Amino acid sequence: MDRFQPETSTPSKPKGKALTLVKKANKELRAKLETYIPAGDYGCIHCLTTLVLNYVPSGDAPPVSHCGFSNPTSSICDQCTDRKSVCDRPNAMLERDFSELMACISLAVEHVWDEDEGELTFSADDRLDIAKALKAYINEFVKSERDYRTHYKLTGSKTARKELVYNARKQVLAARHPMPARAYTDPELRKAWERLSLPALEFCDPGYAHLTLARRRYVTEFMAVIKRNYTKESVKETQEQLENLVRV
């Protein structure tokens, strides 16, 4: 064909290997979005497990799951995307246990690590104490979550899992307390109510005793560090903040 002639035929669509290359190029062109969820708000179970395996307690950095979603169109976190694995949240029947763990991480970051340079309240030893206790608590959560799934055979096919969780959730929803009217206008009350209404490990479940003990041990350690450093009034406020979010 004369190369100065305008091309009239429509280009044929890429197929096979060419199509794969086009798809790959499009994927790379897609805008990347930095959407890291704030510390302690979320963590898929795989990122939590990685955190427990890799985190060495130190005063320098808190144990925070870096479960991030830099691809705006994907519901699979970055680590799970790299590993080509399913990105699972912790089992829905442990939602309250999970939300308490996340609240504890957030509070530790807020009080102990998020300090202005130059006017540090907490010493390196205080931070280390919290980091160790928090790691032990996260470790116990990961173990309890795994034991729960194994015990109730929730590791099978996706459909079987969905059905079991759905039926259990229906019962939990049917039994939960009605939302107090004030919770519509009071976000703190709303948060507290939501957390109280979430399903959690029960006395008869595997992992219940260990996780409860781990949480209490952590809360005791956290409050001990707070008491060493805060005024009486601030200790009271922190205790209330904690009790709104976590069973102590």
Binding site for Zn ion (CB under 5 A): 44, 46-47, 67, 77, 79-80, 87
As to burial, measured by CB atoms within 10 angstroms (0-12 exposed, 13-18 middle, 19+ buried), residue 178 is exposed
* Residue 135 C-beta: closest distance to Zn ion, Å: 18
In the complex with Zn ion, which residue's Cβ is closer, 52 or 77?
A: 77
Distance CA 22, CA 137 (A): 46
What b-and-e string marks burial along 117-136, b requiring 16 or more CB atoms within 10 Å of the CB?
eeeeebeeebbbbbbebbbb
In the complex with Zn ion, which residue's Cβ is closer, 37 or 223?
A: 37
In the complex with Zn ion, which residue's Cβ is closer, 77 or 211?
A: 77
* Residue 49 C-beta: closest distance to Zn ion, Å: 10
Is residue 134 within 8 A of residue 218, CB to CB? The reply is yes
- For 60-164, strand residue ranges (E) read none
In the complex with Zn ion, which residue's Cβ is closer, 2 or 82?
A: 82
* Residue 75 C-beta: closest distance to Zn ion, Å: 9
* Residue 128 C-beta: closest distance to Zn ion, Å: 26
